């Protein structure tokens, strides 16, 4: 599978974590339990962790405690998520729910994000999603896809969307309040809706930021009575200029494009991506990096800026792309701690994000 512009992650040896992203990093929490092999209730106060590719599609689970999808691809059947429960899809992991995901219908606990997609993770609901009153957080560069209908819960529940993340909805979407999405950064994020949107409560803005919103919204079907900045709206259009590269009419194209573009490469060899329309390459190395990195770009590239973000989406360094046809050296800032970072190249509405490492 090819992508003209992707996300490349450079994995850096040991990680320095902020409090905002701590739950999304590290190994399975100490004392974690193995998930029951059959249908079960995950009890309040307990943490369950899955760290290998596992098929549990024939099972139904009720989550009162914490379920951590540490790594690999995990497939589950129907899931009921209670208001004390948390499902955490960590960095690079994928959770597929083939049945219905049902949220608790009573008042939410405002301090808990019940459904969390971490940086570089993917939550793929191939059934339908009845949100109830659970809170959702799609962290920076995370992907969240719903194939069936998404029915929102009470207006007290929240849906957070982070920098560079994508939410893709393939069936009807019931937006039940003004300012349905809460943007957790000032960066670009993506919403792709392949079907009609239902505005059941009141006409209003898609985002709590209203006209300052940076959500790039691509709607395959016209959506009436929802306000959004014109520069960030493609309403019933026939192109995907506002969507992640690789998006098309297919359900899952946006979420999978983003997830598959977030790549890890060990060792000190160049990270190479082939451009669809150019025989030249994109290369970045070494990995892990210490004080500098080399960047090789295609001759016809349109990138203008290089930025370095933490896992929490904080911008730590930015510079303009230097001219030249050969590999170009960029010195990393001396204050940059050892950890996982996102290196993002941007220009002319295109972007490439790479997982690169710093010792």
Same domain, 281 and 256: no
Residue after which a domain boundary falls, among 197, 230, 261: 261
4 within a domain of the structure (yes/no):
no
129 within a domain of the structure (yes/no):
yes
Residue 24's region, left for phi above 0, alpha for psi from -120 to 50, else beta, is: alpha
pLDDT at 60 (0 to 100) = 98
Residue 258: which H helix or E strand, with range?
helix 253-261
Name the average pLDDT for the chain: 82
Per residue in 7-60, pLDDT (tens digit) is 333 322 222 223 334 477 677 889 999 999 999 999 999 999 999 999 999 999
Please enumerate in sequence order all residues whose Cβ is within 8 A of that of 89, keeping only pairs 6 or more positions apart, or say none: 69, 95, 116, 117, 118, 121, 122, 123, 142
Residue after which a domain boundary falls, among 216, 244, 261: 261
* Rounded CA separation 303/319 (Å): 11
Q: Do residues 137 and 113 make contact, with C-beta atoms less than 8 angstroms apart?
A: yes
Residue 327: CATH number of its domain: 2.60.40.3080
pTM, two decimals, is 0.75
267-288: average pLDDT: 56
Same domain, 143 and 279: no
Same domain, 170 and 253: yes
* Rounded CA separation 82/108 (Å): 9
pLDDT at 22 (0 to 100) = 45
Q: Do residues 274 and 298 make contact, with C-beta atoms less than 8 angstroms apart?
A: no
122-148: average pLDDT: 94
**Winning range, highest mean pLDDT, from 134-138, 221-225, 291-295:** 134-138
266 confidence band (pLDDT: 50, 70, 90): very low
9 within a domain of the structure (yes/no):
no
Same domain, 250 and 299: no
181 confidence band (pLDDT: 50, 70, 90): very high
144-173: average pLDDT: 91
pLDDT at 359 (0 to 100) = 72
Q: How many domains does the chain have?
A: 2
Counting residues of the chain whose pLDDT is more than 90, the rounded percentage is 44
Task: Decide if pLDDT at 255 tops 90.
Answer: yes
Greatest alpha-carbon span in the chain:
59
Q: Do residues 263 and 300 make contact, with C-beta atoms less than 8 angstroms apart?
A: no
pLDDT at 257 (0 to 100) = 82
pLDDT at 14 (0 to 100) = 25
* Rounded CA separation 139/93 (Å): 13
4 confidence band (pLDDT: 50, 70, 90): very low
* Rounded CA separation 195/349 (Å): 25
Residue range of the domain that includes 286 = 263-358
Same domain, 253 and 311: no
Task: Decide if pLDDT at 285 tops 70.
Answer: yes
Task: Decide if pLDDT at 146 tops 60.
Answer: yes
Counting residues of the chain whose pLDDT is more than 70, the rounded percentage is 83
309 within a domain of the structure (yes/no):
yes
Q: Do residues 153 and 127 make contact, with C-beta atoms less than 8 angstroms apart?
A: no
Task: Decide if pLDDT at 276 tops 60.
Answer: no
306-321: average pLDDT: 81
337 within a domain of the structure (yes/no):
yes
Same domain, 77 and 203: yes
Task: Decide if pLDDT at 244 tops 70.
Answer: yes
Residue after which a domain boundary falls, among 261, 294, 319: 261
31 within a domain of the structure (yes/no):
yes
């Amino acid at each position: 599978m090819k992508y003209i512009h992707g996300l490349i992650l450079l994995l850096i040896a040991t990680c320095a974590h902020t409090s905002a992203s701590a739950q999304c990093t590290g190994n399975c929490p100490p004392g974690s339990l193995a998930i029951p092999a059959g249908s079960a209730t995950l009890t309040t106060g307990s943490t369950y962790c899955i760290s290998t590719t596992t098929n549990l599609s024939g099972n139904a689970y009720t989550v009162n405690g914490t379920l951590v999808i540490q790594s690999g691809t995990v497939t589950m059947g129907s899931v009921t998520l209670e208001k004390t429960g948390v499902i955490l899809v960590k960095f690079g992991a994928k959770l597929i729910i083939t049945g219905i995901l049902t949220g608790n219908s009573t008042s939410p606990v405002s301090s808990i994000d019940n459904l969390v997609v971490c940086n570089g993770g993917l939550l793929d609901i191939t059934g339908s999603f009845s949100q109830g009153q659970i809170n959702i957080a799609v962290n920076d560069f995370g992907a969240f896809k719903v194939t069936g209908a998404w029915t929102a819960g009470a207006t007290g529940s929240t849906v957070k969307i982070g920098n560079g993340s994508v939410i893709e909805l393939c069936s009807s979407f019931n937006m039940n309040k003004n300012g349905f999405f809460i943007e957790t950064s000032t960066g670009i994020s993506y919403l792709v809706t392949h079907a009609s949107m239902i505005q059941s409560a009141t006409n209003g803005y898609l985002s709590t930021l209203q006209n300052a919103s940076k959500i790039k919204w691509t709607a395959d079907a016209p959506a009436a009575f929802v306000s959004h900045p014109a520069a960030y709206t493609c309403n019933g259009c026939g192109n995907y200029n506002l969507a992640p590269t690789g998006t098309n009419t297919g359900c899952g194209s946006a979420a999978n494009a983003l997830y598959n573009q977030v790549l890890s490469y060990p060792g000190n060899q160049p990270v190479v991506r082939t451009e669809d329309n150019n025989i030249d390459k994109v290369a970045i190395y070494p990995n892990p990096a210490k004080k500098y990195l080399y960047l090789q770009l295609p001759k016809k590239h349109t990138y203008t800026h290089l930025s370095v973000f933490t896992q929490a989406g904080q911008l730590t360094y930015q510079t303009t792309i230097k001219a030249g046809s050969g590999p170009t050296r960029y010195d990393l800032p001396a204050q940059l701690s050892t950890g996982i970072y996102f290196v993002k190249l941007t220009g002319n509405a295109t972007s490439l994000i790479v997982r690169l490492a710093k010792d």
